Amino acid sequence: MNCQPSEAPCIKICEHDAFKVLGGAITLDYDKCTKCRDCVEVCPIGIISIQ
Ligand code: SF4
């Protein structure tokens, strides 16, 4: 919860619309995620883990 959803770099960089904001929390839709890892690179606190 480091970033405001409107400013979150993971949401901005994802070309696959895989992030959603639910109840103020940023969530990841694994059905849309292609595991490109672009969001991993831009997360300022390195919290995103893509297996
Ligand atoms: S790894 Fe998945 S969620 Fe992250 S930017 Fe790529 S497609 Fe989007």
- pLDDT digit string, tens, across residues 3-47: 999 999 999 999 999 999 999 899 999 999 999 999 999 999 999
Position 3 in a domain: no
Q: Ligand 1, atom 2: nearest CA belongs to which residue?
A: 33
Q: How many domains does the chain have?
A: 1
CA distance 29 to 16: 10
Q: Are 10 and 43 in contact (CB under 8 A)?
A: yes
The tokens describing 12, both together, are 């901005």
| Ligand 1 centroid from CA 16, angstroms | 7
Q: Are 16 and 33 in contact (CB under 8 A)?
A: yes
Q: Residue 19: CA atoms inside 13 Å, Cβ hemisphere, count?
A: 21
The tokens describing 49, both together, are 């883990």
Position 48 in a domain: no
* Domain coverage including residue 35: 9-42
| Ligand 1 centroid from CA 20, angstroms | 12
pTM: 0.86
Atom of ligand 1 nearest to the CA of 48: 4
Position 1 in a domain: no
In order of 14, 18, 50, the CA distances from 29 in angstroms are: 11, 5, 12
Confidence at 2, pLDDT banded by 50, 70, 90? confident
